[in-house]
Amino acid sequence: MPRRFAWLALTLLLLASPTAWGQRLLIGAWQWRLDQSTATLTIITADNDGALHGTMYYDPPLEGFAGSPFTIKIENGAFTIRLVNGTRYQDMHWCRDALCGTFYMPDDTATPVLFERPAQ
């Protein structure tokens, strides 16, 4: 019986690993150009339950807003970042080796986004 439990535990661990590994691939900095600003999305941690913790920073500030921290949850392979200034990045998901989605201003003006890793 203990051997069966060990196999079951190993199987469950392997099934959970791809999700956790995929979330860890998000950790680090991502950049996108918006008007005259560079938006830098930095994902600091990714929890095994799908939660991401990070910051969004604009250089120079976007309409007076320099950025803010966020905590979001990945659901069905995508996530939405809602910032305190009323903007949001919706349906963020993998697009090959980038993150894409849609940026919304507070008036719901939409712009497609493509965040890529910054050149080192």
Would the CA dihedral through 52, 101, 26, 94 be positive or negative? positive
Q: Is residue 58 domain-resident?
A: yes
For the chain, the domain total comes to 1
Average pLDDT of the residues of the chain = 82
Q: Is residue 52 part of a domain?
A: yes
Whether the model pTM is above 0.85: no
pLDDT value at residue 105 = 94
Whether 39 is in a domain gets the answer yes
Query: What percent of the chain clears pLDDT 70, i.e. is strictly above it?
Result: 78
pLDDT at 5 over 90: no
Residue 120 placed within a domain: no
Q: What is the C-alpha separation between 18 and 44, in angstroms, rounded? A: 19
CATH number of the domain encompassing residue 10: 2.40.128
15-69, pLDDT tens digit by residue? 343 444 445 567 899 999 988 899 999 998 877 777 889 999 999 998 899 999 9
Domain that holds residue 67: 2-115
What letter represents residue 24's amino acid? R
